[in-house]
Structures are given as structure tokens and as C-alpha cells.
Amino acid sequence: MHIRWSLAPSLLLAAALIAPALAQQTPPADTATPAAPPKKPHKPKPEAAAKPAAAPATAAPAAAGGAKPTLLSQYGEWGAYTASPGGKKVCFAIAKPSATETVPPDRPRNPSYMFISSRPADKVSNEVSIIIGYPFKPNSEATAEVGTTSFALSTQQDGAWVKNATEEAHMVEAMRGGQSAIVKGVSVKGTRSTDTFSLRGLAQALDRVDQECK
């Protein structure tokens, strides 16, 4: 059964700042780096469903206060960062795809990122989330392939999360020992994307994140 999620404020936060995060990976000058990983949306409470959501134009600046990330260390393709959006500490490993393609080819997209984050205040550890760079097709699923194993991803707006929470730890463990994670999805306009994330340095970045956000 499809679960309708409310839009997480962190999806706005993630693209709110232009910061030198991932600078060691030499991003293009116009690339906006997410300030903090997006939180997995929660199913809205019935009494909250009827209330109008805050306008994105006002929500993003409010959420962005004090959220500029601090680089802890860079490990291969993965950076380990910490930030405090809303005063709550979050630690995360982040990487950009090492290769990307679309069908039809060369369709314009915003930058995409994969996060693995820990939020001690929320008792969340190693949550996998992806910002894909375009709005997903409504009610669609994406996939993440690690080796020979494929993991289903739920999507909302431009974000994706592991659909089955019980598989998340398995996915992270597979990524620690894997070579690449391949994320596939479909945009609202029907464009199919394939993003390949190198996993070089991920294990070390996660160890650093775990150390910072015990």
C-alpha cells in the first residue's frame, strides 16, 4: 500500500546553501552542495494533514540557519561531515556519482548526492538517502544496486530512501565492502537516470561519522 508522506523540511534544507563541501572532489563552480542530508519523511498525523504546508520560499531560509556543514575528513570519494540544522547535531558521509547517464541522453539535471547519516537526537544511525537532481515520477520506486543485490527505494519529490527499513543495515554493510552503488529512477517527465556512486573510502568515512555521532 502506498503511504503518502509529508514533505520533509530537510529536503528544502539540503539545497539551501552553496558551500565548499566536497571541494576536494573539484565540483563545478556552479554546483550547489547540500547543507545537510534530507530526513526520511514521516507519515503525517490525521490532524496535521489538513493544515497547509509552509511555502518553500520561506521554509528554506528558516531551516538553513546554522546548518553549514563542517568537513571532518575526506576518504576517497566520500566526505565525512557534521552539521547542526535546527540545533540538532547530524553527522553524514556524502558523495557525488562518479558516472551518470540519462535516457534520453543529456537531459538537464541538478547535482545528485548520496548521504548516509546519523542523528543522535532522533536515535537514527546510518540512514541512506539520495537527492537525485530532479522530481521523481509520482508514486514511482527507484532502485539501488550494490553488487548482485537490488534494494527498493521509496521516492518523494527529488529524494529517495530505502523502502524496507529492515534492509537498510544490510545495504550499508554491502556498501562498506562493495565497489559501487548504482541508483536508477524515473523523472516526472519520464527520463530514466542511472547514477553510479563509487564506494571507495565509504567504510572509512562511516567509521569517522560513527566516531563523531556516537
pTM for this entry: 0.74
Torsion of CA 169, 181, 108, 152, to 10 degrees: -50
| Separation of alpha carbons 148 and 154, rounded Å | 20
40: cell is 526520511
Cis amide leading into 104 (omega within 30): yes
| Separation of alpha carbons 165 and 136, rounded Å | 20
Model pLDDT, residue 36: 62
**Is there a contact between 2 and 77 (Cβ–Cβ < 8 Å)?**
no
Model pLDDT, residue 38: 65
192: cell is 530514466
Model pLDDT, residue 212: 92
| Separation of alpha carbons 74 and 13, rounded Å | 22
**pLDDT tens, position by position, for the chain (214 residues)?**
333 233 333 433 443 332 334 433 433 333 345 556 666 665 443 333 333 333 333 222 333 344 688 999 999 999 999 998 888 899 999 999 999 999 999 888 999 999 999 999 889 899 999 999 999 999 898 999 999 999 999 999 999 999 998 999 999 999 999 999 999 999 999 999 999 999 999 999 999 999 999 8
In this structure, is the dihedral angle defined by the CA atoms of residues 31, 190, 172 and 116, taken in order, positive or negative? positive
| Separation of alpha carbons 71 and 146, rounded Å | 26
Domains and CATH numbers, the chain: 9-212 (2.60.40.1880)
Q: Count of CB atoms within 10 A of residue 170's CB?
A: 14
